[in-house]
Structure 1
Amino acid sequence: MHEGFSDNEVYARQLLERYTHWLSRIELVDRTELEATSREIKTELSGIDSDLHGRLLQEIGALQEKVSEMLWMSEHMKILHDLSHTFAKTFDERQITWKAFELVSRVMRADAFFIAFYEEGDTEIQIPISVDSGINYGPLMIPYGQGMISKVIENGETIHIRTMRDEPSEPEMIRWGSPEIDTNTCIFVPLMVGKQVMGVISAQSYREFAYKKEHEELLKIIGFQVASAIENARLYERMYQMSFQDEMTGLSNYRAFHRDLDKLLAKNNPVALIMLDSDSLKSVNDHYGHHLGDELIKRIAEAMQAVATDEDTTYRYAGDEFMLLAPEATLEEATEKASAIREYLRMHPLVQDNCCIPVTVSVGIACYPYDAATGDSLKRAADAALYSSKRKGKNCTTVYAVG
């Protein structure tokens, strides 16, 4: 006993020193140490003193938990920051979903994991990635309207199942994969774009009570990043595809022509090029206005689409110049296609003020590898044949002749 102090006072001073030490390193305080001290206080102190110290220990415990959560989130926010940079550099949906799985596995236990996508009005939900024990069982398609995924999509709310004893009545809809072992803790988070739910992200563990509230919040943040990245990827894909399409006719454009021609020639297989040019666009524009000139261009595109097979690709190359690529087509087949296009136009003239306005085209045909060895020389050969059709009086087809 210290001189002038009672045993209780000495013990209280020791407690205060212990509290000061804990507060100086609050993030390192051991919960078991707090619990042991709490039991010790009940033995050593009594009455008001015991209650006061008990409440103080509770406050220290709450502070320790809060600081630990903040440090935990701070550490994982660095990973999330890295993820946002990764997502900003890619527009590949498959890469985005796999990166999301890698990140979730770094910040929480993810014995099973999936991402599901849904578009309003669809009857099925798409699951591109469904990992269980390191094996991807995706892609999968499941019916919309039943199970946990549909429930999250419909309600737009997170579901956190802490143990299978709390599990709803659709166990078969929670996960897919190895039947030997099932998950016991599951978090389902909606993927939100604005107020619209575009899917669900889920992390699951074989253990019960594997996740805390902060895991749930972290998965929400990851889900938001995934949803934003996927939305940007799809927007990019739409814009990319639009860059290869002619807005007026819906045909592919000159960029797509050169891209597709290069791909076809890289296979070293025969391909026929049919080049068409309007015979009367300028006169139609001059006499009837550009509106009818636009209709003439659309009518030629319509004729090409009506004749083209599934293997063929049609292009509005520039102005009133059109291309048709016919892989594996013989010269005779290409000539028949050109004749069919011209016949379609003959049967479908433009009509203005009860007057029929004929739509005719001049056509040139060249074939790879018989008429040319490269894409540029093939285009020049078809162009030369088209020019011959113009010189012959238009509204006819000319096949390129070497030499």
Structure 2
Amino acid sequence: MKNPSGKTLPQQGGIEHSLLDAVLQAFRDVLEQGSAAKGLPDSLEQNEQFQELLSYLAELQNFAMALSNGDLSQTLHVKGKVAGSLKNLQANLRHLSWKAKMIAQGDLSQRVDFMGEFSNAFNSMVASLDEMHRELRESEQFNTAVINNSPIGISVRSRTGQLLFANEAWKKIWAIPEADVLADKKRNRSDLVFDARDEYLQPHHKELRQVYEHGGHLHLPELHTIHPRPGAAEWISQHFYAIQDEYGRVDRVVVLTEDITKRKKVENAEHEQRVLAESLRDIAAALNSTLDVEHVLDILLANVGRVVPHDTASIMMLEEKEKVYVVRERGYAERGLKEKISASYFDVSGMPYLKKMLESAQPVLVPDTSRDGEWGARTIAQVSSYAGVPIVQKGEVRGFINLGSETAGFFTPAHLERLRAFADQAAIAIENARLYEQSQGHARQMTSLYQIGLSITSKLDRSQIFHALYTQIQQVLAPNVFYIAIYTKATHIIEHPLFYDSGELRNVPPRDIRKVPGLTGEVILSRKTIYINDALNPGSVKNHQVVHIGGKSSRTYVGVPMIMRDHVVGVLSIQSYETNAFSAEQVRLLETIAAQAAVAVENSILFDQARQEIKQRRSAQRSQQKVNKEMQERIKQIEKLEAELREQAIRDVLTGLFNRRYLQETLEREIARAIRRKQPVGIIMMDIDLFKVVNDTYGHKAGDLVLQALGDLLKTNLRAEDIICRYGGEEFVVVMPGASIETAQERAEFIRHEFEAMHIPFENHEIRATLSLGLAAYPLHAIGGEEVLIRADRALYHSKQTGRNRLTVYHDNIRMPLPKF
């Protein structure tokens, strides 16, 4: 028998069974309990080889125990296969321990290949750790990129406020260079304090201390930073989140900072725009409710302060080329300047910025008057900051709005833009007043035209017609000199049946225009209106043959031809002792009167001729009894001629339609008939749009063709019972007995469309025009003929006012056009 070292145990033949048991028990004690064998027989105790075997087993057992306890430092001195295996195991365990240490240090590339199934499990575990580490690293990189690229500023501070981390957005929001961020991270704080940059947080110090010391969350939605760095946010929103450790103590605080400067600026701009819109709405309401310019300007100045704060304000109007006066002011009385500013006119040339606005029609801004060399002592009030805008109307400066502040640098370009809107409103107020005055003047002219037409068409006696013309023209145009010249083409002689100079009737001898044409002859021969704004000007004397018949010399001359059936029958003239005495609108009015006068003159000539012929015929009848029968026939012809003359008196010569006189005679009769029959009556009033442009562009002959075309269209497309009248100038009226409002409206629209589609040939041109129409009806809109006509006229003006070329059915909301200056 050999021991594990290869030595042979002593042979003591006949070993008893009890000895064998003792040997086995000794092995168990060594291998199981790690203790020396006890109670061995003396023979075994004294046997060196046996004791060496037990020592060998004990060293193996202690070495294995050390390995099992993780002690890899032991040295095994014995030899043999078992000892070699244990040493190999120790070496493998040492290598595995090194591998584990490398893995613990982050080297997850380590693998083992010497331990069989354990190696596979170990390598699988390391591979899993490597994958988890890689995913963790990618997640960390992603989170870091998200934080750094976030538009929200993210910072982490200690519980004492020391900066631990800040992303790029945070640095950008605060405009802090990297060096300052690093310095902030290195600074130690013993308690929660705020530095200069955190001054905006002082009002919330108590709430913040609660978060930093006890945890929780705080949201401050709108914070206005105080004295920010250049480029830093002016408005921010911040969230504070406390992070606590496992003991519930605040470890750090995460701060989310959002730059809301742009949003706040937009909100502020929206607020300012809303205030501006409300102010302009109030002014617009005033404009719509009153024509009192001063009242509107008071409201305007009151609202300027809501949008552009100021200490003083004034509105100035231009009276002459470079003279202004203050019409409204605010703030001057409190500064003792009320009398100074309201005293008199101011010379624009002495006020550089008013002159600049007058010349450029652009606003002026002087942020700091103390630094401006042009700001002189001649200004109305000494202010530190000035803003002014011109009141511009149709490209012409009519006045100024001036604002002053006692704070230097107060006004900005944004203030000027807002102030422009108020200047526009002021221009509208002034324009409305001008329109109102113009409308009143137009109404007066229309009344005069009506009276003139009524006067001259109701008379056939020439002298009565001429005196009626003079009376009406004197009321409307108030000329110093007025005359009517009658022209006989066959003899080229002009006569002046009426010539008034300063209210006195003068006798002017006839003359041959071939010899002495004068201005009257020039009008007749040119067939055009002549307007001379200064007859004594050398240029006028050179270009025109001015004939003086005594008395005071006229300066302004207007001569208008009276044309009938393409023949000049005379001239209407008004004159003034002043230069530029008559406006273009007044000249147009005289042209309209001349057209009516031409009809009256022609009728009077026909009437005189007929009356003279009757007189002659009757005288011949008394002297020649033998031709009595023949004379009776002639008398019938003359009586027929009288009837024709009567027809001519109620007919418009140019269009063949009834005239205004006939309308006045028949309108109330038709209304009375409608009342008896319980039927409606529709009245359509129409006016050719821009008829003056046709006359100016193509001449009065073309205008006559347009009037005749409209007359023919009406006669062709209206019912036999409808009464069609030329009301005057380019105005026509149609009375439709028995027509409902719907029928009248349908006919009116048909006429408008047909007229719009017409092409009226004239020489080498085709003339086109449109109609504006107004419709009213009995008894829907009024119960009297004149009242219905007035409402149709108002509806017509509404069509004109709202764009022309349209039909308006009268309704109660129709207003007359706003007045014009």
TM-score (norm 2): 0.27
Matches within 5 A, 1:155-234: 155-176=360-381, 182-234=382-434
1:151, CA displacement in angstroms?
1.4
Letter paired with 2:462: V
Q: 1:89 maps to which residue?
A: 289
**C-alpha RMSD over aligned residues:** 4.9
Q: Which of 301, 309, 331 is the equivalent residue of 1:132?
A: 331
Pair 1:99 & 2:273 matched: no
Q: Using a 3 Å threshold, how does the CA distance of structure 1 residues 200 and 113 change in structure 2: closer, same or farther?
A: same
Q: 1:142 maps to which residue?
A: 346
Q: Which of 149, 152, 158 is the equivalent residue of 2:357?
A: 152
Q: Distance in 2 between matches of 1:98 and 1:350?
A: 61
For residues 117-150 of structure 1, the C-alpha deviation after alignment (integer angstroms, 9 at most, x for no partner) is 226x624223212433446533641123332212
Report the 3-state secondary structure (helix = DSSP H, G, I; strand = E; otherwise coil) of the residue aligned with 1:243. Answer: helix
Pair 1:122 & 2:321 matched: yes
Pair 1:73 & 2:277 matched: no
**Segment of structure 1 superposing worse, 129-138 or 98-107:** 129-138
Report the 3-state secondary structure (helix = DSSP H, G, I; strand = E; otherwise coil) of the residue aligned with 1:125. Answer: strand
Q: Is the 8 A contact 1:127 1:138 kept in 2?
A: yes
Q: 1:283 maps to which residue?
A: 461
Q: Using a 3 Å threshold, how does the CA distance of structure 1 residues 304 and 91 change in structure 2: closer, same or farther?
A: closer
Q: Using a 3 Å threshold, how does the CA distance of structure 1 residues 303 and 344 change in structure 2: closer, same or farther?
A: farther
Q: Distance in 2 between matches of 1:105 and 1:2?
A: 47
Structure 1 residue runs of 5 or longer lacking an equivalent are 40-55, 177-181, 255-276, 308-340, 355-403
Q: Which of 294, 311, 317 is the equivalent residue of 1:111?
A: 311
Report the 3-state secondary structure (helix = DSSP H, G, I; strand = E; otherwise coil) of the residue aligned with 2:226. Answer: helix
Q: Using a 3 Å threshold, how does the CA distance of structure 1 residues 351 and 82 change in structure 2: closer, same or farther?
A: farther
Q: Distance in 1 between matches of 2:168 and 2:477?
A: 96
Q: Using a 3 Å threshold, how does the CA distance of structure 1 residues 174 and 100 change in structure 2: closer, same or farther?
A: farther
Q: 1:312 maps to which residue?
A: none
Q: 2:506 maps to which residue?
A: 347
Q: Using a 3 Å threshold, how does the CA distance of structure 1 residues 282 and 29 change in structure 2: closer, same or farther?
A: farther
Q: Is the 8 A contact 1:96 1:230 kept in 2?
A: no
Q: Using a 3 Å threshold, how does the CA distance of structure 1 residues 344 and 81 change in structure 2: closer, same or farther?
A: closer
Letter paired with 1:235: L
Q: 1:30 maps to which residue?
A: 224
Q: Using a 3 Å threshold, how does the CA distance of structure 1 residues 78 and 351 change in structure 2: closer, same or farther?
A: farther
Q: Using a 3 Å threshold, how does the CA distance of structure 1 residues 168 and 304 change in structure 2: closer, same or farther?
A: closer
1:172, CA displacement in angstroms?
3.7
Q: Using a 3 Å threshold, how does the CA distance of structure 1 residues 92 and 13 change in structure 2: closer, same or farther?
A: same
Percent pairwise identity: 14
1:36, CA displacement in angstroms?
11
Q: Using a 3 Å threshold, how does the CA distance of structure 1 residues 73 and 301 change in structure 2: closer, same or farther?
A: closer
Q: Using a 3 Å threshold, how does the CA distance of structure 1 residues 115 and 140 change in structure 2: closer, same or farther?
A: farther
> RCO (CA 8 Å, sep 6+): is it higher in 1 or 2?
1
Letter paired with 2:226: T
For residues 321-341 of structure 1, the C-alpha deviation after alignment (integer angstroms, 9 at most, x for no partner) is xxxxxxxxxxxxxxxxxxxx9
Q: Is the 8 A contact 1:190 1:201 kept in 2?
A: yes
Q: Distance in 1 between matches of 2:443 and 2:476?
A: 20
Q: Distance in 2 between matches of 1:171 and 1:303?
A: 48
Matches within 5 A, 1:258-297: 282-284=460-462, 295-297=469-471
For residues 218-271 of structure 1, the C-alpha deviation after alignment (integer angstroms, 9 at most, x for no partner) is 11111111111211122212322443467869xxx99xxxxxxxxxxxxxxxxx
Q: Using a 3 Å threshold, how does the CA distance of structure 1 residues 138 and 35 change in structure 2: closer, same or farther?
A: same
1:65, CA displacement in angstroms?
2.9
Q: Is the 8 A contact 1:108 1:215 kept in 2?
A: yes
Report the 3-state secondary structure (helix = DSSP H, G, I; strand = E; otherwise coil) of the residue aligned with 2:427. Answer: helix
Q: Using a 3 Å threshold, how does the CA distance of structure 1 residues 173 and 105 change in structure 2: closer, same or farther?
A: farther
Report the 3-state secondary structure (helix = DSSP H, G, I; strand = E; otherwise coil) of the residue aligned with 1:145. Answer: helix
Q: Is the 8 A contact 1:90 1:233 kept in 2?
A: no
Q: Using a 3 Å threshold, how does the CA distance of structure 1 residues 9 and 293 change in structure 2: closer, same or farther?
A: farther
Aligned length: 261
Q: Distance in 2 between matches of 1:13 and 1:155?
A: 50
Letter paired with 1:149: L
Q: 1:401 maps to which residue?
A: none
For residues 266-304 of structure 1, the C-alpha deviation after alignment (integer angstroms, 9 at most, x for no partner) is xxxxxxxxxxx99x9531189xxx7x6775446766999
Report the 3-state secondary structure (helix = DSSP H, G, I; strand = E; otherwise coil) of the residue aligned with 1:113. Answer: strand
Q: Computing the radius of gyration over CA atoms, which structure comes out larger, 1 or 2? A: 2
1:175, CA displacement in angstroms?
2.5
Q: Using a 3 Å threshold, how does the CA distance of structure 1 residues 84 and 139 change in structure 2: closer, same or farther?
A: farther
1:11, CA displacement in angstroms?
4.1
Report the 3-state secondary structure (helix = DSSP H, G, I; strand = E; otherwise coil) of the residue aligned with 1:220. Answer: helix
Q: Using a 3 Å threshold, how does the CA distance of structure 1 residues 298 and 35 change in structure 2: closer, same or farther?
A: same
Report the 3-state secondary structure (helix = DSSP H, G, I; strand = E; otherwise coil) of the residue aligned with 2:439. Answer: helix
**Segment of structure 1 superposing worse, 80-89 or 148-157:** 80-89
Q: Distance in 1 between matches of 2:357 and 2:477?
A: 48
Q: 2:178 maps to which residue?
A: none
Matches within 5 A, 1:269-348: 282-284=460-462, 295-297=469-471, 344-347=503-506
Letter paired with 2:460: K
Q: Is the 8 A contact 1:88 1:229 kept in 2?
A: no
Q: Distance in 1 between matches of 2:281 and 2:469?
A: 52
Q: Using a 3 Å threshold, how does the CA distance of structure 1 residues 297 and 352 change in structure 2: closer, same or farther?
A: farther
1:34, CA displacement in angstroms?
5.2
Q: Using a 3 Å threshold, how does the CA distance of structure 1 residues 108 and 302 change in structure 2: closer, same or farther?
A: closer
Report the 3-state secondary structure (helix = DSSP H, G, I; strand = E; otherwise coil) of the residue aligned with 1:78. Answer: helix
Q: Is the 8 A contact 2:308 2:418 kept in 1?
A: no
Q: Using a 3 Å threshold, how does the CA distance of structure 1 residues 284 and 156 change in structure 2: closer, same or farther?
A: same
Q: Distance in 1 between matches of 2:383 and 2:502?
A: 66
Structure 2 residue runs of 5 or longer lacking an equivalent are 1-155, 175-218, 234-256, 482-499, 514-821
1:170, CA displacement in angstroms?
4.3
1:91, CA displacement in angstroms?
1.5
Report the 3-state secondary structure (helix = DSSP H, G, I; strand = E; otherwise coil) of the residue aligned with 1:150. Answer: helix
1:163, CA displacement in angstroms?
1.1
Q: Using a 3 Å threshold, how does the CA distance of structure 1 residues 190 and 349 change in structure 2: closer, same or farther?
A: same
Q: Which of 246, 261, 264 is the equivalent residue of 1:64?
A: 264
Report the 3-state secondary structure (helix = DSSP H, G, I; strand = E; otherwise coil) of the residue aligned with 1:190. Answer: strand
Letter paired with 2:313: F
TM-score (norm 1): 0.51
